[in-house]
Each structure stands twice: as C-alpha cells, then as structure tokens.
Amino acid sequence: MHLRQKSSFAVSLVLLSLAVLLSLSIIACSNGMMTAISARQMQSIMVTPTSAVAQNFPGGQVQFTATGHFNMDPMTATPQVLWTVGSPFPMMPMSSMSSSMTTPTASEVTISANGIAQCNGFVGTVTIQATAPMDPNMSLSQMSSMIGNVTGTAQLTCR
C-alpha cells in the first residue's frame, strides 16, 4: 500500500468508526424513548362536576375531583393534581376559556390543594383546571410548561 492509500484507508476507518458510534447512540436513545413511551402514562384527566354554580353548594364551596385515565392498567386512578383557576402556567393559552369569561383576582375565586373552590365577591364564570404530569411517578413540584402535562377542566359560575 502506498502512503496515500494508507492515509485514505485510515480516514475511511475513522469515518466508519464514527458512523458506527453514531448509529449505536441513536439506537440507545431510541431504546430509552421506547421505554419511556411504553411506560404507564396519564392520557387525560376528567374533572367532576364538569360545571357548577357555587351558590348551589353548601357554604358556596364546590368540591371538584379529578380522575386520571391511563394507557395501561390500572386504567383509572385519582391522581395528585395541581388545582388552579385558569392555567397554572401563564404562557400556556387556555383554549377552553371563552372570550366572554373574565379573569378574577387570586382572592376573588380560590381553589384549595384538595379541589375545593369558592367565590369571594366575583361574579362570572371561570375555568377550574386540574394539571398533572403525564408520568405518574413525577411529582407536582417537578411540573413545568416544558414537560408533558395533562389537564382537565370544569366551569365554575359565581353569582
């Protein structure tokens, strides 16, 4: 082999090695993704009641509950959710919020960590939202607008 052929062979060998390493990296990453995709994930949240008039409940307090629906058994469960009036992440648009709805201040409509909502001088309809991570093993404190979250909504009318 001539020197030029040897250096060309060496370059080819290096490129082939890099291609093999890149292929193995992609396979390793896709295996990780396949594992994440095949794991139990929450697909939707149903909030009940779906709509309520606060004044029709004792003390004007409405107890909302969230039921998570998953991609594998057990198919339903009561997940830990973050309860909010509207979206918990200000940059996330609330597609379910009607343009005729007004936004109350934090003290005009409250909702507890247990899903108990109450009107405090606000008149109108608001969206109550239950949000949880898709991954049931992730804590609420790890949630952000940058990860996969699942939301369910209900309407609360204050008179």
Q: What ranges do the domains of the chain cover? A: 1-38, 40-158
Asked if 96 and 125 count as a contact pair (C-beta separation under 8 A), the reply is no
Place of tokens 């370059």: 11
Strands (E), 21-112: 42-48, 51-53, 61-63, 65-70, 76-77, 82-85, 109-111
Q: In tens digits, what is the pLDDT along the chain, a chain of 159 residues? A: 555 555 666 566 555 554 544 444 443 344 444 444 459 999 999 999 999 999 999 999 999 999 999 999 999 999 999 999 998 876 544 444 444 456 898 899 999 999 999 999 999 999 999 999 999 999 999 998 888 899 999 999 999
The CATH classification number of 40-158 equals: 2.60.40
Distance, in Å, from the CA atom of 15 to the CA atom of 9, rounded to the nearest integer, reads 10
Q: Which of 87, 84, 107 is nearest to 95 (CA)?
A: 87
